[in-house]
Amino acid sequence: MNGSGVKITGVGHYAPEKVITNADLEKILDTSDEWITTRTGMKRRHVAGIDEATSDLALVAARAALDDAGVDPHDIDCFIVATVTPDFPFPATACIVASKLGAENKAAFDIEIACSGFIYGLTVAASLVRSGVYKRILLIGAETLTKIVNRKDRATAILFGDGAGAVVLEASAQDSFLSSELGSDGSKPELLRVAAGGSRYALDPLRYDAGEQYIYMEGREVFKFAVTKMIDATERALEKARLTHADLDLLIPHQANKRIIDAAAKYLEMPSDKVLVNIHEYGNTSAASIPIALSEAVRSGRVKNGDVIVFVGFGGGLSWGAVTWKWAA
């Protein structure tokens, strides 16, 4: 197997048409536009319809990315979907997406590491290409989190939205991948999880009535962890790439809370024009948030050839990660 460089040759994203605004939430929950805006930076979130599953969102984003790259689905060697809201507990959503794209008999698998999914996925996909195992990979972050949110819990119902972002990675003489820093701490899964429905706690009537099929989060604890890990992972990834904050052209963080992003950016001395924020439009879309932000940035011309980008995320696990990437047009 011959190693090579890797670059992203196509990006795409999709969010369902239906939108829930803060004003809509005011009507069904004890909350306010003012509270949500000042505490999170969120204004709107897109919501999948009852018949729209994660693979449906993934498919639209995937087609856009393939189109952008000028690559036929049959020429993709491996399909990866990062998601915590798969169509089914199994089979993997990536298998469904590959088949819907008409690509038969190709490698396909999901990555389930919550909001860190795209960062882990990018590390795995880039490594598979750089080591020569595959020439072209389609990596998608896709979520329908509103389907696992308790609409009566104001602490979480306001935060999450649905969407998908996709990238095509291809072998290249240039190498965009500069470094990766991944981490996890599974000692307190209860800080952020869906408790029931797995092999630890069956979704029996008691747990169902207690709402354990929905996302539960200790918001304040996760907030502190998020700021620390965003900073730490970014610094370590830069260090591994032998770079400093000063070399960074763009920070593309997971969109969980504008205050988390601002606190990390301030510590990292990143001016706001170098930090990508679209949380007002989408809320937290977990594994989809970074590829959606990247796709918007590339399509609007905000990403230039040679730009050094750090993608950084954190989430359930707990988990975190950052990738340093030199953009190649």
Active-site amino acid positions: 115, 254, 284
CB of 10 to ligand COA, least distance (A): 26
Under 8 Å between Cβ of 83 and 54 = yes
Q: 81 vs 138, which CB is nearer to ligand COA? A: 81
Q: 20 vs 222, which CB is nearer to ligand COA? A: 222
Nearest to 143 by CA among 127, 126, 160: 160
Q: 39 vs 274, which CB is nearer to ligand COA? A: 39
Q: 27 vs 220, which CB is nearer to ligand COA? A: 220
Exposed/middle/buried for residue 113 (C-beta within 10 Å: 0-12, 13-18, 19+): buried
Under 8 Å between Cβ of 20 and 174 = no
Give the pair of three-digit tokens for residue 291: 């590829």
Nearest to 306 by CA among 248, 235, 226, 231: 248
CB of 149 to ligand COA, least distance (A): 12
Tally the residues of the chain: 329
CB of 25 to ligand COA, least distance (A): 8
Binding site for ligand COA (CB under 6 A): 31, 35, 39-40, 115, 154-155, 158, 192, 217, 219-220, 222-223, 226, 256-257, 260, 284, 315
Give whole-number Cα distances, 125 to 5, 78, 244, in Å: 12, 9, 25
Q: Which residue lies nearest ligand COA, judged by its C-beta? A: 219
Which helix (H) or strand (E) segment is 223 a member of? Answer: helix 219-240
CB of 98 to ligand COA, least distance (A): 27
